[in-house]
Structure formats: C-alpha cells, structure tokens
Chain A
Amino acid sequence: MTGLWSLFLTAAFVDNMPLILFLGLCTFLALSKRPESAFGLGVAMTGVLGVTVPLNHLIYTGLLAPGAWAWAGLPALDLSYLSLIAFIGVIAASVQVVEMVLDRFFPAIHAAFGVFLPLLTVQCAILAGSLFMVERSYDLAQSAVFGLGSGVGFAIAVSMLGAIRTRLDYAELPAGLRGLGIAFILAGLMSLGFASFAQMAAAQ
C-alpha cells in the first residue's frame, strides 16, 4: 500500500509531467492564461489519464506484449511495435466517451471546455503516460495509480501557472517577453521548485 502511495506522490510531484518531463507543454502554455480554463484542463487530464493508462495496460499485456498469445499456441509472437497505434486508438475513443458523458450529464462543464476536449487526443502527456507504463513495466494497480498521480500533478502545475499568469496582466514586462516568453521563464521557476521534490525523495 505504501508502495502505491509513494508511486502516486512520485508521479504527481517528483516526475511532474509538464515541469520536469516536459510533457503536454503545448496545452499547458496555451490554456494557462486564465485560472478557470487551467483548472478545467487539469481535471480533464486527470480523468483521461486515470482511464487510459490502466486500459492500455490491459490491452498491452493481453494482446501486444511479447508472449501474450502463448495461450493460442503462438508464444513467439511479439506485437509490441503496434502499441503506438493501439494506444492512440484507445485514447481517442476514451476522450470521445468522456466528451459524450460530459455533454449528456454535465453540459455546463462540457460547454466550458469547448474545443479543447477533443484536442486531448493528441496530448503528448496522455500518450506518454501509457508509454511510461510499458517502459517501467507497472502492473494494473500501479498503472491506475500512476495515471491518476500524473493527472493530479498536471492539474496542480497548470492551475498554479494559470493563477500566476493572471497576476502578470498588470506587470509591466519588456515587450518581447510578454506572453510566451514570460510563461517559459515562469515555468522554469516552477520547475526549479518541483526539482527540489526530487531531492526530498532522495533524502528519504
């Protein structure tokens, strides 16, 4: 149990997706101008990551991993090179389902997301969650915890950046630094803060 909890914390803070691993930065920067949209993105990321990583784990171990077809008399079959396409398909389908569920039961949230929900399909952080899960050979429970933890970490980081960027509206920045430039510098400072979590984990 402690193993899962520490995996959650590691995924959320030490290996923070946008700030330490540089994943999902396009939406991270594009949607963090306002805190509301930033928070919404964080929630959606958590939901989609929490669903797709365990789902992809089932598909990978059941169909694609080397030796997965041993029961059918094909122990040498290795379909793992197909995992990219399979994962993308699962992610696209999950995003579609999440979108339909939100549209049916929570229309207000759905309206707030607008066009950004379908764009989660091509979010590198979400695909990376599944790829890391394969690379680090997590089991099913670990995959689920890892997906949730990464999502929560993303949500925290993007909400913080959104909150800081609203305040910057009133700062008098050098013209060339306005917008994207200062967002990078801010992300760098936040990344510096999150990097210290790695030291804490190492000292433990």
Chain B
Amino acid sequence: MAERVDYAAILTEPLIRQNPVTLQILGICSALAVTTTLATALTMSISLTVVLTLSAGLISAIRRHIPNTIRLIVQIVIIAALVIVIDQVLQAYFAEISRALSVYVGLITTNCLVLGRTEAYARHHAPPAAMVDAFGNGLGYSLVLLVIGGLRELFGKGELFGAQVLPLADAGGWFTPLSLMLLAPSAFFLLGLLVWAVRSRVPEQIEPPEHTPPLRTEPAE
C-alpha cells in the first residue's frame, strides 16, 4: 500500500481515453434520455457524479468486510439508498427538473456505470483512489451528456439553458428549429457521430474487425 497513487492520471483517464460512455458502454440509457435540454443533462450529471463518488467511497471503505457472495446486494442497497436521498433532494428543491427527469433519477440505481465502477475499481482500491476514479468517471459521463444536451437544445430550440441564443424565424430571426433534434433518433445519431469523432482522434479505441472482408478480386467498375 506504500506505493504512490497517481491521482491526476486516475482523474483524467476517464475523460476521453477511457470515457465510460463512448468506450466502456456504461450508463448509456440515461446519457441519451435526459439530454433534450442542457439543464436536465446538467442535473443528471451532477446527481450521477455525486452518487457515484459517494458510493465508491463507501463501498471501498467497507470492502474488506463485505462477503463476496452477497456483495452485489450490499452494493445495490448502498447505491439505492444514496439515490433515494438525491431523488428526495431534487423533488424538494428542483421540482420542475425532477418532473422532467421522471423515472431516470431512480434509474441511477441500475445505471451500469455506478455498479460497473464499484465492481471494477472501488472493490479493489483504497477509498481516496476509488473516489477519485469515480469522480473522474462522473466527469467523463458529464462531458458526453453536456455535449449532446447542448447540441440538442441549441439546434432543437435555439436555446441554451432556456435562454434564446439563435434568433428564431418565427420571431423575426433566421433560425428554423430542427424539431428532430428533440426526438429520440437524433440522440442516437449524435452519440454515434461523437464516438466516431473521438475514435478518429484516439485510434487505439477502434474495435478490431470480427471478420475481414473478402478481398476483391474482380475489378471494381
């Protein structure tokens, strides 16, 4: 335990290189569902980061005392308890956003990102490192959410955080809102393109082909 832990690396790795959403396929459901506006995306990011960091710290602190056979149940109960607290806080102070998020706050309980990080990291590391790792992953998740949420709100309504940024054609401006941006398919497209963009910058994330395409012997016409 005497070896030095490189906290900076643990914190920054999940931002792009090991991004939970675009590489590890964790926590995608909520990443797409809550991104119609920037405000919901930000609320969700903060809630998830808080739950993730606290649960990683708690689970890491008691990691030597959890019997292996019931560890999943223990972890889920800890996470669910934290989610209930967050949910109640949101309902009390941010009622409007809490209604917009509907069941998705509760679904942080089963967000694979939370359980994935506690299973993969917090269970084997000391609390400070586990919390830094969880916080980094929360930030990586938030980054994706904010990018997609920002794009969707900007082009879907011409607004950012509810304030008009692009002048609408209805109100004498030049911008016609793309209502498709507010619908489900655009979230998939944006995330797909985002994955493509990230992987063009970081080629080692590219997945190896499962089959090599047959060589073309005939001349292409």
Q: Which residues of A contact B (CB under 8 A)?
A: 19-26, 29-30, 33, 81-82, 84-85, 88, 92, 121-128, 131-132, 135, 169-172, 174-185, 187-189, 191-192, 195
Contact bitstring B7-18, A, C-beta under 8 A = 1, else 0: 000000000000
Q: Name which of B27-35, B130-138, B151-159, B160-168 contacts chain A.
A: B27-35
Offer 26 A-B interface pairs, CB within 8 angstroms, sorted by A.
A22-B28, A22-B32, A33-B210, A84-B84, A85-B77, A85-B80, A85-B84, A92-B73, A122-B76, A124-B29, A124-B110, A124-B112, A127-B109, A175-B206, A176-B196, A179-B206, A180-B22, A181-B193, A182-B192, A185-B192, A185-B193, A188-B185, A188-B192, A191-B188, A195-B183, A195-B184
Contact of A169 with B210 in the complex, beta carbons under 8 Å: yes
Contact of B213 with A23 in the complex, beta carbons under 8 Å: no
For the residues of B in contact with A, the DSSP-based class is helix
Q: How far is the CA of A41 from the CA of B185 in the complex (A)?
A: 23
B94 at interface (Cβ–Cβ under 8 A)?
A: no
| Chain B residues closer than 8 Å to A185, beta-carbon distance | 188-189, 192-193
Q: How far is the CA of A24 from the CA of B103 in the complex (A)?
A: 13
Kindly identify, within residues 50 to 104 of chain B, every residue whose CB is under 8 Å from any CB belonging to chain A.
Answer: 72-73, 76-77, 80-81, 83-84, 87-88, 102-103
Contact of A170 with B115 in the complex, beta carbons under 8 Å: no
Q: How many A-B residue pairs have CB under 8 A?
A: 143
| Chain A residues closer than 8 Å to B211, beta-carbon distance | 169-170
Contact of A188 among B25, B77, B80, B189 (CB under 8 A): B189
Contact of B29 with A26 in the complex, beta carbons under 8 Å: yes
Q: How far is the CA of A172 from the CA of B187 in the complex (A)?
A: 24
Cβ distance B90 to chain A, nearest Cβ, rounded Å: 13
| Chain B residues closer than 8 Å to A81, beta-carbon distance | 84, 87-88
* Interface range on chain B (Cβ under 8 Å from partner): 35 or more
Residue of B nearest to A182 (CB): B192
Cβ distance B168 to chain A, nearest Cβ, rounded Å: 24
List 7 extra interface pairs beyond A92-B72, A131-B103, CB under 8 A. Answer: A25-B29, A26-B25, A26-B29, A175-B203, A179-B206, A184-B188, A187-B192
Residue of B nearest to A17 (CB): B29
Residue of B nearest to A185 (CB): B192
Contact of B32 among A25, A122, A125 (CB under 8 A): A25
Contact of A192 with B185 in the complex, beta carbons under 8 Å: yes
Contact of A170 with B213 in the complex, beta carbons under 8 Å: yes
Contact of A92 with B76 in the complex, beta carbons under 8 Å: yes
| Chain B residues closer than 8 Å to A127, beta-carbon distance | 106-107, 109-110
Q: How far is the CA of A125 from the CA of B29 in the complex (A)?
A: 9
